Amino acid sequence: MASGSTSAAPAAPSVDGLTLSTRSIYSFAFTVGVLLWFRSVHPAADYSCPPPSCRVNQIDFEEVTVDLFKSQHLTPEFRKVNPMGQVPAIVDGRFKLFESHAILRYLASVFPGVSDHWYPADLFTRAKIESILDWHHTNLRRGAATLVQHTALAPFLGLTTSPEAVKQAEKLLMQSLGVIESVWLKGDAKFLLGNPQPSIADLSLVCEIMQLEILGDEVRDRFMGAHEKILIWMDNVKKATSPHFEEVHELLFHVKARMLQSKAAASNQAFEPSTKLKIASKL
């Protein structure tokens, strides 16, 4: 139920004894020595999309963590929020919703003050945005998330990897980047579809590509180096959502720093416990 409803809300749900507010965006955390926040592994690759959308449009929300390593996403309490046991999800009064694209549509449609360019009232423009969001699921997301899972996260967490999955993911990712440039960023387009301002499709796709950061600079540049249009477009989206975009992705760079520390330790390079790596984005 949208903000401003006069209907009485039920008691707030809880996860592992933690009482949650009636408007919450569920994120998640992995515990690997220290607390790490991830957004890159399917199905939570677009965890970072709803928060900047809320912040840019001044939608008040509380972010709640669900620890996957403690299986909090599988508890009866959380399954009342999302029966699939996945993040992200939101609770707005009595209304519960999961799937990041659905959440973005809801935020843009229900809350007053959200600029029309995020999810235009014009049905023809909106339909074009919907087509990009639908394409995203089985193309860019499948390529980027699978690649990150098998080349970065799985080795870091000691999980099994698949060379064949990596090969297929690399191929799909390169194809997807080519489609974005040739179909939706024609000419000197500043945003997808040649729009003068970003939509929820811009935000969703850019957040997906951002996870390539944790592959390391050399691998990331191998995919992104030939796509100048995409790099310019991503920079446009960041500027349009600054400083919220950077704030949300601080966690991504924390993960990247921890991975670099882990690799360095494996190479017998000593790091003091207090060492902090300053990681800058090239995307």
Taking only the tens place, the pLDDT of each residue in 158-203 is: 889 999 999 999 999 999 999 999 999 999 999 999 999 999 999 9
Q: What is the pLDDT of residues 209-263, one digit of tens each?
A: 998 988 888 888 999 999 999 999 999 999 998 887 877 777 777 777 777 777 7
**Segment among 16-30, 54-68, 223-237 with least mean pLDDT:** 16-30
pLDDT reading at 104 higher than 70: yes
Place of tokens 């330790």: 265
Model confidence at 206, pLDDT cuts 50, 70, 90, reads very high
14 in a domain, yes or no? Answer: no
What does the alpha-carbon distance between residue 99 and residue 147 come to, in Å, rounded to a whole number? 21
Same domain, 68 and 122: no
Identity of residue 232: I
CATH number at residue 95: 3.40.30.10
- The answer as to whether 270 is a domain residue is no
Residue 61's pLDDT band (cuts 50, 70, 90): low
User: Which of 12, 42, 40, 67 lies closest to 259 in space, CA to CA?
Assistant: 40
Query: Does some domain include residue 275?
Result: no
Q: Are 107 and 123 found together in one domain?
A: no
For residues 239 and 130, state if they share a domain.
yes
Alpha helices in the chain (DSSP H): 50-56, 76-79, 100-110, 123-138, 140-148, 154-157, 163-179, 200-210, 217-224, 228-241, 244-266
Q: Rounded distance, CA 147 to CA 159, Å? A: 14
Instruction: Specify the pLDDT at position 243.
Output: 80
Q: Which two tokens stand for residue 58?
A: 């001044």
What's the domain range around 182?
117-265
Is 28 strand, coil or helix? Answer: strand
Higher pLDDT, 256 or 4: 256
Same domain, 147 and 85: no
- Residue-averaged pLDDT of the chain: 75
Task: Tell me how far apart the alpha carbons of residues 265 and 216 are, in angstroms, rounded to a whole number.
Answer: 16
